Structures are given as structure tokens and as C-alpha cells.
């Protein structure tokens, strides 16, 4: 299995241009011997971050993409263009895209296939809402998302990373207990193998991950890394989080 732990920083619409240098610097200085680290800035900062991370052993990811190669789609950015900008990863199906932009599993599936077609690594986000959790439907909901999002996926030389992000934990400070996350992520691995026929997949945990709880998550057998939001936008916290991830 993937020996390195994967740390993905999702800067959402939070990090400003003047913060980029110091954030990349702290990641550049971190010991990444056993870490695969990717930064996901906003579209407008991709070019600058690509130049800042040069030769620093840091990956570049986008927060979203469109599924058509080119055309009259005002405001959209294609996976093909993201590849040209130097991206290696693309977040697909983040709960904020599902919630605020009404992205259905059908749309997410199209985006996932486009990302794979251009040779990038999609980071597919799945997770249940508070209502679904309280009703005891966590496993059922996440399984359903995987089944719909992974339709027609054929993996040859490419890979998919899955991020389990309980919606109720994102940005709330209310993180999932590591052993509960472990149960869901173990199911995700089994379901992924059933759907794709691929024996192994890296599964990340996301949802109020910070420098204080990251080590506990990374100790779990089925947690191969973390997708970090708010904590990755503050230089000091991000530095500590990376140090505590080794």
C-alpha cells in the first residue's frame, strides 16, 4: 500500500495572494520524506503557486474542473487546461460543490472521468450530512455516492484518491472520532475494490483536521492521509500539522 501519508491542503476561497509565498515556504521547509503533499489554491493562484513550488517536492492541485475540453462555457476551467498549468491533482465532488453549486453524482462522475482522461489524479470527496449520520445512514450514503461517482471508471496506469469528509465536520471544529472514521474508510476501500476491481486505494480523512488531531487520524489502519481546509491556511498551524504527520 501507499507508504507515504498524503496531505492535501484545500485553500478554498480563503488564501490571498500575499499569503502564498509564506505558506509555500513552510511546506517547502517541512520534512516530506514520508509525505506526499499537494496544495490546492484557487484557480487565479495556480500559475504563481506552480512557480513557487518548483523543485520543492510539492504537488499542485485544483479545487474543481469542468468536464468538457474546450468551448463556450463562460467561467469554467477544463481539466485539460489544469494539466497545462502543471496540476497533478483535482478535487472532485467536494461537499461545498455539492451543496452550494448543486453538483449531482452524475456531474461529479463526468468530472472524475475527464480528470482521469487527461492523466491527472482525481481526489473524490464523499461524506454524509448530519441528518444522514443521526439517522444511522452513514455507510449507506457513502456507499451510494461511490457507486454513482465511479460509474464507467477504468483504472489502468492512473489512480483515484478518495477523501472521506463527513459534511457535518467540515469547518465546524466537530471532527469525526478517529475510530469512527476508520470504520467508514475501511468500507470505502472494500466498496472501491468491488466497483473498480482495483485492490488498493488511498483514502484520506477530511473535516476539521488540525495540527492537534492529525497524528491520531494517521495512526488508523485505513486512513492514508488527510484533506485539510482551515488549518492549512495558517502558516504556523500548517507547519505544525506537517511535523505531526510524520
- pLDDT tens across 131-169, in order? 999 999 999 999 999 999 999 999 988 899 999 999 988
Instruction: Specify the CATH class of 5-243 in words.
Output: alpha beta
Give me the pLDDT at residue 156, please. 81
Q: Give CB contacts under 8 A, 24+ apart, made by 50-58.
A: 50/85, 50/86, 52/20, 52/21, 52/24, 53/24, 53/27, 53/28, 56/24, 56/27, 56/28, 57/32, 58/24, 58/27, 58/28, 58/32
- Average pLDDT of the segment spanning 81-95: 97
> Of 36, 165, 182, 191, which residue is the catalytic one?
165
- Average pLDDT of the segment spanning 193-221: 95
pTM for this model (two decimals): 0.96
User: Is 206 in contact with 165 (CB distance < 8 Å)?
Assistant: yes
Give me the pLDDT at residue 173, please. 80
Whether the per-residue pLDDT at 108 is higher than 50: the answer is yes
Active site residue 165: yes
Least confident of 93-107, 135-149, 169-183, 232-246: 169-183
Q: Where are the domains positioned within the chain? A: 5-243
With a pLDDT cut of 70, the percent of the chain lying above it is: 99
User: Is 24 in contact with 242 (CB distance < 8 Å)?
Assistant: no
> Of 45, 94, 103, 128, which residue is the catalytic one?
94
- Average pLDDT of the segment spanning 221-238: 96
Question: Alpha-carbon distance 246 to 30, whole Å?
Answer: 10
State the alpha helices, DSSP H only, in 11-65.
20-29, 46-52
Amino acid at each position: 500500500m501507499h507508504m507515504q501519508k498524503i496531505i492535501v491542503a484545500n485553500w478554498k476561497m480563503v488564501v490571498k495572494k500575499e499569503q502564498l509565498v509564506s505558506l509555500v515556504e513552510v511546506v517547502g521547509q517541512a520534512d516530506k520524506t514520508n509525505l506526499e503533499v499537494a496544495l490546492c489554491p484557487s484557480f487565479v493562484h495556480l500559475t504563481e503557486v506552480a512557480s513557487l513550488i518548483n523543485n520543492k517536492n510539492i504537488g499542485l492541485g485544483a479545487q474543481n474542473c469542468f468536464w468538457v475540453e474546450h468551448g463556450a462555457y463562460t467561467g469554467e476551467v477544463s481539466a485539460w487546461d489544469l494539466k497545462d498549468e502543471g496540476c497533478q491533482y483535482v478535487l472532485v465532488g467536494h461537499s461545498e460543490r455539492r451543496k452550494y453549486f448543486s453538483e449531482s453524482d452524475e456531474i461529479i462522475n463526468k468530472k472524475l472521468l475527464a480528470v482521469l482522461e487527461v492523466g491527472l489524479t482525481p481526489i473524490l470527496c464523499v461524506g454524509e450530512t448530519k441528518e444522514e449520520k443521526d439517522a444511522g445512514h452513514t455507510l449507506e450514503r457513502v456507499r451510494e455516492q461511490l457507486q454513482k461517482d465511479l460509474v464507467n471508471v477504468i483504472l489502468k496506469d492512473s489512480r483515484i484518491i478518495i477523501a472521506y469528509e463527513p459534511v457535518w465536520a467540515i469547518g465546524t471544529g466537530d471532527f469525526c472520532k478517529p475510530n469512527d472514521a476508520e470504520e467508514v474508510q475501511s468500507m470505502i476501500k472494500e466498496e472501491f475494490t468491488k466497483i473498480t476491481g482495483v485492490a488498493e486505494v488511498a483514502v484520506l480523512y477530511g473535516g476539521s483536521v488540525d495540527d492537534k488531531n492529525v497524528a491520531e487520524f494517521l495512526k488508523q489502519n485505513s486512513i492514508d492521509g488527510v484533506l485539510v481546509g482551515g488549518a492549512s491556511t495558517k502558516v504556523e498551524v500548517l507547519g505544525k500539522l506537517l511535523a505531526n504527520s510524520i
